[in-house]
């Protein structure tokens, strides 16, 4: 969907990573590792997106070790380029919201397949799915699930989103215990920005 709108898979991957983590700054090397894209493609898209205004480029002097002919080393300052989301861009909020909603659309296939491999008691999306970077996880699942099958589904979702997804799986017993003692981990998820998609625990109680 987003590829059709923005015209490039590489562009979508870069925007998805930077827009949903506006507090982070990335060097080209980081993007190459995180997104598995070619150097030429990343540099081309960064140039276009900076020119458009949705991303910003900062030049920062970074201390590095420089080897001398004498085999000694010394610290030198080298200028490095860092890229991040331009939160002051006129359409920043609208474009970021589009990417946030797309995360949830992509997750629907994952949810459908998840219900085929286990009986889901509770499922909440938070973190990257709801633009809540403070969340300790992205997916909270209460179910008895075969881990290999779950990890396979998760890998497919991560490939579609172009980013790593953090998850937490709890048994029904552990979930209820954490809820009873007002566990801070669970409280931060449920009381923060979260999208509860399945809740067969409280509805049946």
- Write the pLDDT tens digit of every residue in 114-124: 999 999 999 99
**d(Cα 46, Cα 191) in Å, to the nearest integer?**
36
Q: Kindly report the CA angle at 62 between 59 and 63, in degrees rounded to 5?
A: 160
Task: Identify whether residues 107 and 186 lie together within a single domain.
Answer: yes
SS3 105: helix
Task: Identify whether residues 194 and 99 lie together within a single domain.
Answer: yes
Among candidate residues 59, 90, 121, the one where a domain is terminated:
90
Task: Identify whether residues 184 and 110 lie together within a single domain.
Answer: yes
**d(Cα 87, Cα 131) in Å, to the nearest integer?**
14
Both structure tokens of 43: 């540099």
Integer angstrom CA distances of residue 74 from 62, 80, 153, 166: 13, 18, 48, 40
Task: Identify whether residues 40 and 109 lie together within a single domain.
Answer: no
Among candidate residues 90, 116, 134, the one where a domain is terminated:
90
Both structure tokens of 145: 């699930």
Task: Identify whether residues 7 and 60 lie together within a single domain.
Answer: yes
**Which residue range is the domain that position 23 belongs to?**
2-90
Both structure tokens of 153: 């589904």
Among candidate residues 68, 90, 112, the one where a domain is terminated:
90
Count up the domains in the chain and report the number. Answer: 2
62-102 pLDDT, tens per residue?
Answer: 776 665 555 565 666 778 899 999 999 999 988 887 887 77
Half-sphere exposure of 9 (CA within 13 A, CB side): 8
Domain presence at residue 205: no
Domain presence at residue 195: yes
Task: Identify whether residues 13 and 57 lie together within a single domain.
Answer: yes
Q: What is the pTM of this model?
A: 0.61
- 8 A C-beta contact, residue 175 and residue 196: no
Pairing of strands 195-199, 167-170: unpaired
Which residues in the chain come in under a pLDDT of 50?
none
Task: Identify whether residues 149 and 169 lie together within a single domain.
Answer: yes
Task: Identify whether residues 113 and 192 lie together within a single domain.
Answer: yes
Task: Check residue 200 and give its pLDDT.
Answer: 92
């Amino acid at each position: 969907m987003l590829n059709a709108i923005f015209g490039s898979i590489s562009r979508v991957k870069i925007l998805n990573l930077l827009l949903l983590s506006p507090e982070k700054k990335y060097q080209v090397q980081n993007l190459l590792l995180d997104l598995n894209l070619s150097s030429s493609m990343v540099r081309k898209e960064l140039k276009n997106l900076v020119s458009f205004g949705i991303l910003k480029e900062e030049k920062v002097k970074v201390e590095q070790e420089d080897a001398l002919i004498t085999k000694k080393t010394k610290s030198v300052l080298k200028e490095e380029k860092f890229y991040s989301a331009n939160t002051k861009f006129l359409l920043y909020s609208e474009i970021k919201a589009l990417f946030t909603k797309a995360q949830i659309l992509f997750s629907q296939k994952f949810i459908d397949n998840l219900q085929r491999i286990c009986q889901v008691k509770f499922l909440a999306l938070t973190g990257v799915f709801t633009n809540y970077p403070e969340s300790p996880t992205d997916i909270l699942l209460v179910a008895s699930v075969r881990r290999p099958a779950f990890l396979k589904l998760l890998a497919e979702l991560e490939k579609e989103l172009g980013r790593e997804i953090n998850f937490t799986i709890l048994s029904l017993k552990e979930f209820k215990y954490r809820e009873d003692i007002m566990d801070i981990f669970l409280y931060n998820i449920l009381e923060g920005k979260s999208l509860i998609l399945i809740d067969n625990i409280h509805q049946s109680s």
